[in-house]
């Protein structure tokens, strides 16, 4: 049986995904709006117990960085403070995951057909 190239790419992920065990923390959680992030949450990643990353496409958000609107922010979940991030390219239509060391890495396709890769390493002692 000959598999199509697309199926050969997807099949290992489906098989591995069925055998992967997840870790769950006990307790309950809820989403609460307690302040403003300044950036629409097109993509949201909880990168630690105290930090979330928020990504939007290039949009007219109220948060500013380096003289232009921010389309990414780091949110401290404890203090509710926001730090604007300055991605060097559009974050629209991205996909990502976490490496075993906690680094978030993701990619997306730029207009000219080039893939752009970005990584975010959380630094807790800023």
In a domain, 8, yes or no: no
In a domain, 19, yes or no: no
In a domain, 82, yes or no: yes
- Beta-carbon contacts of residue 125 (< 8 Å; ≥ 6 apart): none
In a domain, 5, yes or no: no
CB-facing half-sphere around the CA of 112: CA atoms within 13 A: 3
In a domain, 30, yes or no: no
Q: The domain containing residue 99 runs over which residues? A: 35-120
Q: How many helices (H) and strands (E) does the chain have?
A: 1, 9
pLDDT at 7 over 50: no
Sign of CA dihedral 21, 78, 58, 118: negative
pLDDT at 122 over 50: yes
Q: Which strand ranges, in their side-by-side order, compose the sheet holding 72-76?
A: 43-46, 51-55, 72-76, 82-84
In a domain, 71, yes or no: yes
Number of separate domains in the chain: 1
pTM: 0.58
pLDDT at 106 over 80: no
* Burial class, 54, CB count within 10 angstroms (exposed 0-12 / middle 13-18 / buried 19+): buried
pLDDT at 66 over 80: yes
In a domain, 79, yes or no: yes
In a domain, 40, yes or no: yes
């Amino acid at each position: 049986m000959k598999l199509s190239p697309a199926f050969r790419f997807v099949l290992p992920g489906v098989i591995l995904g069925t055998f992967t065990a997840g870790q769950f923390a006990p307790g309950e959680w809820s989403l609460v709006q307690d302040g403003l992030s300044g950036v629409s949450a097109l993509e949201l990643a909880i990168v630690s117990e105290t930090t979330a990353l928020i990504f939007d496409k290039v949009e007219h958000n109220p948060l500013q960085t380096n003289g232009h609107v921010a389309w990414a922010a780091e949110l401290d979940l404890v203090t509710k403070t926001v730090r604007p991030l300055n991605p060097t390219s559009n974050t629209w239509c991205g996909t990502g995951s976490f490496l075993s060391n906690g680094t978030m890495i993701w990619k997306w396709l730029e207009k000219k057909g080039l893939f752009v890769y970005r990584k975010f390493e959380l630094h807790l002692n800023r």
